[in-house]
Amino acid sequence: MIIEMEKVLIYGAKVEMDRFFELAQRAGFLEFIGLSKKTALELPVEGKILLSALKIARHHAPDAHGSLASPNDPLKYADEIVRAKATYEKLLEEERLLRAEISRIAVFGDFSRRELTSLEKESKRIFQFFCMKSDLAREISLPDGVIYVGTEYDLDYFVSIQKEKILPPKMIEILIDKPVGELKKRLIFVQDESLKLERKLHESANAIPALQNALYLALNEHNLRLAKHNTALEMNGSLFAIEAWVPKNKTKALFGLLSSLSIHAESIAVEPHDKIPTCIENKGAGKLGEDLVHIYDTPAQTDKDPSKWVLVFFSLFFAMIVSDAGYGLVYLLIGIFLKRKFSKAMGSLKRLINLTMIMGTCCIIWGILTASFFGIEIGPDNPFRKTSFLHSMAVRKANYHIEHKDDVYREYSREYPAVADAADGHDFLVKGTRIEDGSIKYAILDDFCGNILLEFSLMVGVIHISLSFLRYLFRNWTGIGWILFMIGGYLYFPSMLDATSILNFMGWIAKSTATAIGQPILYAGLVLVLALALLQGRRWGALHELTNAVQVFADVLSYLRLYALALAGMIMASTFNRMGLDLGLGVGIFVIAIGHIVNMTLGIMGGVIHGLRLNFLEWYHYSFEGGGRLFNPLRIFKTK
């Protein structure tokens, strides 16, 4: 839930200021506001060094058999790690340059640069080294004193011995400061030093806890110093004063903290330019939803906490998109494995594991309701299919058409004559078959199930957006009008398509009744939107509110993605199954396994992206302001 914030002015004797800030940091429920308008202090050098060392250490895996390192002076050790990393990178760059240089001059072999210089003086000759493209070298004749040495890749190499320097046409001079032998010795030395530093950097991973603890101590000191930095001094420095934000459920704790000090606190008015921080407190499932909420934005202080709403509907949407009990079982098993593997996990990792298990469970439940298991085509006489909720609804739909002998019944009777003798809805679905690729396809059953899932997606959209309007109904009265608009549209629009909705074949409302009341409710909703907008004093804005009809209609249609993604996943799963069966047992099992892994991965991506999107865009549109700033009190950072 979002806790209401209170702005307080804290003032008291300067001599007790240090003690007060230490107690406030331990309590961890005061966010101080700077009165002096000074620039915030930068992170101290010690903190930067420790942070840099931690970043370096986290790139290495700790030794599973080694003990955790506890350096006597973590700051000194961190400085050594940072310097070692810088030296290591320089050595890697030097190694790269040495290898390039050796490759460039290796064709000339090893020689002593000193002896070559001595030979030049004694012979009064100049030694030069050249290279040129091999295809060009074949087209020209070499000048006197230019000797061919060898070929590497597409370059020919030459040595020139002349009385004075020359530059033959189309040749490039190669300057050799150090011969290959010296470069190779330097390369071996650089590699040895790099290996030593690499070991040192790898060992730093075992010191991560010690470095973290030292960093937190540095941050705690820095934050305390920063809070003191923002105080204002009065009466020649004998008094101090500072403003702070405190959650209203912590005001008693604040006065208890001040009871032993010569310091007082008074509630003060919130100014128009103040950015009130958002304090969110959740436990259990609410904390899981809060993690999801922070992916998109931070609620404003005036918002209602959407954490549990987002978690519930994200779980539903994810299950509807994956739409497979087998995949859900895999997700659940992964969650159980992670829970046992990381039994001591805390914080966000623990919540992520719990969320994985929740998603897996929801997928299993939805997969059972829709009789979907690893894309296996389950016949209508299978007990798993017959007892599923989706099949029961399809049977009810078939019974409805048999009873009314409507155009749907007549069309299927012409296409599948056997259904004319169907005794009941189940028999109707069983007899509506065709042969496709050598296997029986229950065409009517597939059509009915697809139509039901499509309509159910729209129904979920209407319910989800209606709940969004209801949450902020006292702020936006027009929400009741838009709810009526959606209900009226859901009742009336099927008559325009001559379609049979779930409400009709389930016997909840007749077609004629739905049409008769749906149209008036739809228009009454629009009239109510205009009237309520005027009552709220929007004036010309009331006309603009009516234009949101297109937005509301489009938002409801956006929920069709639930059906579309589920259908795509089911088609891919069944396709991989057929491919595997056609290829035989050996290769087929491999194809099926890889196919389902790919499909499960896509299911996770689609479920997360679109499951969150429907919450963050369509639902937030009517019940979320956002743009908030998280409450950040002065507190002590501790290692887990």
- Residue 619 DSSP code: I
The answer, yes or no, to whether residue 490 has pLDDT greater than 50, is yes
- Domain holding 270, by residue range, is 2-38+230-280
Closest CA to 106 of 164, 43, 176, 57: 176
Task: Identify whether residues 327 and 340 lie together within a single domain.
Answer: yes
pLDDT of residue 237: 64
Closest CA to 70 of 273, 210, 192, 230: 210
pLDDT of residue 482: 92
The answer, yes or no, to whether residue 260 has pLDDT greater than 50, is yes
The answer, yes or no, to whether residue 229 has pLDDT greater than 80, is no
Does the residue 528 lie in any domain? no
Task: Identify whether residues 145 and 18 lie together within a single domain.
Answer: no
Whether 428 and 400 have beta carbons less than 8 Å apart is answered as no
Does the residue 66 lie in any domain? no
pLDDT of residue 546: 86
> How many domains, the chain?
3
> How sure is the predictor about 37, in pLDDT bands with cuts at 50, 70 and 90?
very low
Q: What is the mean pLDDT of residues 234-263?
A: 83
Mean pLDDT of the chain: 87
More confident call, 588 vs 454: 454
The answer, yes or no, to whether residue 608 has pLDDT greater than 90, is yes
Task: Identify whether residues 347 and 399 lie together within a single domain.
Answer: yes
More confident call, 139 vs 482: 482
| Residue owning tokens 């949407």 | 317
Q: Looking at 178, 201, 222, which one is the last position of a domain? A: 178
pLDDT of residue 233: 61
SS3 call for 396: helix
The answer, yes or no, to whether residue 35 has pLDDT greater than 60, is no
The answer, yes or no, to whether residue 38 has pLDDT greater than 50, is no
Whether 179 and 201 have beta carbons less than 8 Å apart is answered as no
pLDDT of residue 46: 82
Task: Identify whether residues 345 and 384 lie together within a single domain.
Answer: yes
The answer, yes or no, to whether residue 41 has pLDDT greater than 60, is no
Task: Identify whether residues 334 and 403 lie together within a single domain.
Answer: yes
Closest CA to 160 of 84, 108, 88: 108
The answer, yes or no, to whether residue 165 has pLDDT greater than 70, is yes
Does the residue 77 lie in any domain? no
Q: What angle do CA 607, 609, 614 make, to 5 degrees?
A: 90
Task: Identify whether residues 245 and 158 lie together within a single domain.
Answer: no
Helical spans, DSSP H, in 417-510: 425-431, 443-471, 479-496, 502-505
Q: Distance between CA 261 and CA 273 in Å, rounded?
A: 31
Q: Quote the tokens at residue 2.
A: 């979002």
Q: What is the mean pLDDT of residues 49-78?
A: 79
Does the residue 217 lie in any domain? no
Task: Identify whether residues 318 and 414 lie together within a single domain.
Answer: yes
Q: What is the mean pLDDT of residues 388-414?
A: 90
SS3 call for 216: helix
Task: Identify whether residues 238 and 301 lie together within a single domain.
Answer: no
- The answer to which of 93-107, 135-149, 277-291, 513-527 has the lowest mean pLDDT is 135-149
Q: Quote the tokens at residue 495.
A: 């008559």
More confident call, 368 vs 64: 368
The answer, yes or no, to whether residue 488 has pLDDT greater than 90, is yes
| Residue owning tokens 């009744």 | 513
Does the residue 592 lie in any domain? yes
Q: What angle do CA 68, 71, 72 make, to 5 degrees?
A: 140
Whether 52 and 82 have beta carbons less than 8 Å apart is answered as yes
The answer, yes or no, to whether residue 122 has pLDDT greater than 80, is yes
| Residue 6, domain CATH | 3.30.70.240
The full length of the chain comes to: 640
pLDDT tens digit sequence for 508-517: 999 889 999 9
pLDDT of residue 585: 77
Task: Identify whether residues 583 and 458 lie together within a single domain.
Answer: yes
Task: Identify whether residues 299 and 339 lie together within a single domain.
Answer: yes
The answer, yes or no, to whether residue 386 has pLDDT greater than 90, is no
Q: Looking at 178, 204, 221, which one is the last position of a domain? A: 178
Q: What percent of the chain has pLDDT over 90?
A: 37
Whether 317 and 607 have beta carbons less than 8 Å apart is answered as yes
Gap between the terminal Cα atoms of the chain: 25
> How sure is the predictor about 36, in pLDDT bands with cuts at 50, 70 and 90?
very low
Q: Distance between CA 511 and CA 573 in Å, rounded?
A: 36
More confident call, 565 vs 62: 565
pLDDT of residue 640: 60
> How sure is the predictor about 222, in pLDDT bands with cuts at 50, 70 and 90?
confident
> How sure is the predictor about 435, in pLDDT bands with cuts at 50, 70 and 90?
confident
Helices 347-369 and 285-296, axial angle in degrees (round to 10): 100
Q: Looking at 245, 280, 315, which one is the last position of a domain? A: 280
Does the residue 323 lie in any domain? yes
DSSP percent split of the chain into helix, strand, coil, nearest 5: 65, 10, 25
Q: Quote the tokens at residue 246.
A: 């405190």
- The answer to which of 449-453, 481-485, 497-501 has the lowest mean pLDDT is 497-501
Does the residue 566 lie in any domain? yes
Closest CA to 132 of 102, 107, 158: 158
> How sure is the predictor about 40, in pLDDT bands with cuts at 50, 70 and 90?
very low
pLDDT tens digit sequence for 312-324: 999 999 999 999 9
What is the CA 78 to chain-centroid distance, rounded? 32
Closest CA to 225 of 354, 372, 34, 501: 34
Closest CA to 245 of 628, 639, 638, 640: 628
What is the DSSP track for 560-615? HHHHHHHHHHHHHHHHHHHHHHHH-HHHHHHHHHHHHHHHHHHHHHHHHHHHHHII
SS3 call for 201: helix
The answer, yes or no, to whether residue 273 has pLDDT greater than 90, is no
> How sure is the predictor about 364, in pLDDT bands with cuts at 50, 70 and 90?
very high
Task: Identify whether residues 379 and 418 lie together within a single domain.
Answer: yes
Task: Identify whether residues 273 and 296 lie together within a single domain.
Answer: no
Does the residue 361 lie in any domain? yes
